[in-house]
Amino acid sequence: MRGSAVLAAAVLVIWTLVYVITQLLVAPPLPVLPTLGIGVLLSIAVVLGYPSALRGPRGAIRLGGRARRGARSLSARTEQRGESGVGELAGRSVPLRQGLTADAARRTCELLRPMLSGDAVCITDTEDILAYVGPGSDHHRYGGQTYTSAAPRAIAKGRTQVVLDRAGVGCREPSCELTSAVVAPLRIGSRVVGTLGVYQAQRKVPPKRLVEDMANMLSLHLELADLDRERRLATHARLDALRAQINPHFLFNILNTIASKARTRPEEARELLLRLSEFFRYAVRQEGHFAEFAQEYFFVRTYLSLEQARFEERLQVRYDIDPQVLTSRVPVLTIQPLVENAVKHGIAAKPEGGTVRLKARVDPLARTTTIRVSDDGVGIDPETLERLSARNGITGSTDAVLTGPDHAGVGLQNISERLDSLFGDRYNLSISRPKSGGTVVELTVPLR
């Protein structure tokens, strides 16, 4: 109300001066419209300039308020800055996202120290110090047992420990500067795996809620890291299964073919042995989960050349490969099992034989690689198609022998689970039976 009265008085003085000057002191007096225009302009100028002209700068008022609030405002700003830090960590990559390691813990402590406004920040596992940044680093060292009693209490009780004095910190070093602390447990699920400790070299205790919120955020990242590790192990296990389950019947049949040619056509037998060794060398020694399509293409061609030696004129092969596909990266040991299925259970079961076709394309707009394996063999009955579609969660389905008990090679479920691990829902595997007969398998994966 006081500010409004001052403003009203200022406007009244302006209009009084305008009237006196334009109507009494000037001869002849100014017309009404110019007089009103001058008064309105001056009034607007005063109203707009009122905060700085009559109240003084806004920043000065806030500064004065800070000075009066003192330490209480400082604590509030520290807490607010910590809350913003928790929100910031929620949307960015945290070193502990790679797991609870010494290097990740050190980088996390360096990141958190300014956010939590603590003199020292420490991360431990259940036994040892993984990282410590701040006063006392001469005796709170990486790899050593926790020097304080607060961290073991937080691990044992599974609750945040608030320490108000040097005795509560419980450091075994008499000259240690730490006098207060908040230590919160780090968890993966319900299991305590370590602690986050914020220590002060003065009586002021770090904000408990902020430390707990930060510990919860770090625990979330540790859980995600643990899930990633389990997913990688599962994916590696499936890849090992792909390597280990290469159809032994294929091996026996090829060896029999080579043995039958050894006497009559020794050079051809020698060439087949070399191709067989290349086939198994690639299957066993290929590292990682992805390879260039060119490598997988060579692997598939090697396999089909061995099968053609066995089936001779009964097996025909057609390739339709876009050159752009050759440099794209695809999951290893995924195309060959689908081709093997087309040969063994599509063409081999047909007395007159047939043709296997491999087609690959890149869609640069959708950024996908599409691989299509088709045959004109015996096909698959609709009942089996529907049953396998429901069991494997795939669009359409494939030959029962891919997952049936009589198939010693790789199961379709193994392949689909591997694709789930690698791509989530960003791939598509569809299997269908055209009206013309045979089976068509189409795989679409993100372009890499």
Q: Which domain holds residue 213?
A: 95-235
Divide the 448 residues of the chain into consecutive groups of 10 and give the mean pLDDT of each group: 70 80 77 77 74 45 41 45 49 70 86 82 88 82 72 88 80 79 88 89 79 88 77 60 59 82 87 86 74 92 91 94 94 87 87 94 93 89 64 46 35 74 85 86 91
341 & 204 share domain: no
177 & 269 share domain: no
116 & 176 share domain: yes
Cβ(120)–Cβ(178) under 8 Å?
A: yes
How far is Cα 152 from Cα 145, in angstroms, rounded to an integer? 10
Residue 415, CA distances (Å) to 56, 106, 153, 237, 242 in order: 73, 39, 47, 12, 8
Alpha helices in 245-319 (DSSP H): 248-264, 266-285, 293-311
Number of structural domains found in the chain: 3
pLDDT at 315: 94
* Residue whose tokens read 């599409």: 370
40 & 105 share domain: no
Cβ(378)–Cβ(344) under 8 Å?
A: no
**Inter-axis angle of helices 32-53 and 2-19, to 10 degrees?**
150
pLDDT at 329: 92
pLDDT at 369: 95
286 & 402 share domain: yes
Alpha helices in 140-207 (DSSP H): 150-157, 166-169
pLDDT at 145: 67
CATH number at residue 414: 3.30.565.10
pLDDT at 301: 93
* Residue whose tokens read 């299509």: 372
264 & 410 share domain: yes
In a domain, 417, yes or no: yes
Among 11, 30, 14, 34, smallest CA distance to 22 is for 30
196 & 330 share domain: no
221 & 268 share domain: no
197 & 273 share domain: no
In a domain, 132, yes or no: yes
**What is the DSSP-derived secondary structure letter of residue 94?**
-
> What one-letter code names the amino acid at 395?
T
